[in-house]
Amino acid sequence: MIAPEVVAKLKKIVGEKGVLDQPADLSLYEYDGGVDKHRPDAVVFPRETAHVVAIVNLARESGVPFVGRGAGTGLSGGVIAARGGIMIAFARMNKILSIDLENERITVEPGVVNLDVTLAVQAQKYFYAPDPSSQRACTIGGNVAENAGGPHTLAYGVTTNHVLGLEMVLPDGSVISTGGHEQDLPGYDLVGLMTGSEGTMGLVTKVVLRLMRQPELVKTTLAIFNSPTDAGNAVSEIAARAITPVAVEMLDGVMLRMVEEATHAGYPLDAAAVLLIELEGIKEAVEEQLEQVREACLASGAREFRIAKSEEERALLWKGRKNAFGAVGRVSPYYYVQDGVVPRTKIATTLKEIGKISAKYGLTISNIFHAGDGNMHPIILFDARKPGELEKARHAGEDILSYCISVGGSITGEHGVGMEKMELMSKLFTSDTLDMIGRFKTLFDPTCLLNPDKVLPTGRGCMEIRQKPVTAETML
């Protein structure tokens, strides 16, 4: 618990209505989209950078942990207040500050919803490329913290490829600006370092983003398969033909049936898997690639290849994909979304391994993922009300991620490490690499009060990072 006088000072900074400290209110901020929970002692809502500076200074002077929060849609426990303390929620810093279409730039506060960036410029035929499935709710600050991806980042790149500048409040209360509207500024790439740092090095208060022009032509297709293995092979075949669609999404039979029953998007209920593939660009190039993709899918065993005939049909197919996680909630009271990456050539074998893990633990595991870049999202269905089921779900998730590592992949593609995957970091990185990650953390946050107990394995977090012995050589 934090001292009452600290709460009183928070209320002086942002006003009485800008602070929550009652148990009923705090319970709404003890979780994100993952399975971990821990309640903060107070939630504070700044409206400007000066408020954030004052809150950070108060936390540091009081020795109180603090963590930033966007919309709470993250899936790795990244915004959980692991040690209680102050949660700085950016929902009220939600203004679009400037739009510069001439130079394809937009400057926003961290609480701006992802989709609202595109909505602000689409009438002028521009858009913002990174589009997480939660884009109707997730905010830019959280996207920057987690380096969020999405279906359309196969060709366009993830968040880090579209963040040009940041204003940040560091743990010592100082405000820095790095990057900006200009292209390729000199100096160290602090924007790249901070994007994906999971809110452990600083708090984002302003973001300069890259906008893109809408393409001349968009074609959305649905390839239908009687085998998930065939669908996985089709992804490899498309890549072998040197074609990079803007999106290649795969849903297995379990998932597509849940999605279809919830959204009526037009997915076939009897299929074992589907690929949702989108191509865009210059008209002639798209039409040529469309034929190549059709041939690749049919050669890999697709029983049917559909092309959306209208914008309404295209939107409906994407509605099914973007609302998939919500559809799962109609079937299972609890589910655990994983986020592993494998080489595209290993997708088919990884799906088989996930099937084995499903049988091993007696849990249904459905699959929906960004097949184009091998970013797997197995969804483990369980019932936490049954003793031991949450533990089984966690173990199943660990087995899946360990397998991803074993075939040359990673434990996360876009959800982050957070507090969910910390112990797996030692399977992915060497001891020296983990030490270096820890030194970066303490360089920015020497007091270790900002978002503690995240990313690094137990025993390598703040105050516990192993130091190399001092020798005569190291002192020179």
Distance CA 243, CA 80 (A): 40
pLDDT at 126: 98
Rounded CA-CA distance 58/54 in Å is: 6
What phi and psi values does residue 135 have, to the nearest 5 degrees?
A: -65, -20
Q: Are strands 163-169 and 247-252 parallel, antiparallel or unpaired?
A: unpaired
Beta bridge partners of 100: 105
pLDDT tens by residue, 139-183? 999 999 999 999 998 999 999 999 999 999 999 999 999 999 888
Whose tokens are 């001439």? That residue is: 102
Per-residue pLDDT tens digits for 311-355: 999 999 999 998 888 899 889 999 999 999 999 889 989 999 999
Q: What is the pLDDT of residue 442?
A: 95
**Residue 320 is encoded by which pair of tokens?**
């099914």
Burial class (CB in 10 A: 0-12, 13-18, 19+), 335: buried
Radius of gyration (Cα) for the chain, nearest Å? Answer: 23
Residue 464, pLDDT score: 55
Which residues are 204's β-sheet partners? 168
Instruction: For residue 156, give both structure tokens.
Output: 């366009």
What's 380-411 look like in SS3? EEECCCCCCHHHHHHHHHHHHHHHHHHCCCEC
Do 286 and 217 contact (CB within 8 A), yes or no? Answer: yes
Q: How far apart are CA 225 and CA 272, in angstroms?
A: 6
Q: What is the pLDDT of residue 247?
A: 96
Residues of the chain with pLDDT under 50: 465-476
What is the rounded distance in angstroms from the CA atom of residue 220 to the CA atom of residue 339?
A: 25
pLDDT computed for residue 449 by the predictor: 97
Angle, CA 275 vertex, CA 273 and CA 276 arms, to 5°: 135
User: Tell me, what's the pLDDT at 458?
Assistant: 83
Set out the domains of the chain in order of their start, with CATH numbers.
4-89 (3.30.43.10), 96-213 (3.30.465.10), 217-326 (3.30.70.2190), 332-422 (3.30.70.2740), 431-476 (no CATH)
pLDDT confidence of residue 461 = 63
- CA proximity to 159, closest of 145, 142, 167, 147: 147
CB atoms within 10 A of CB 368: 26
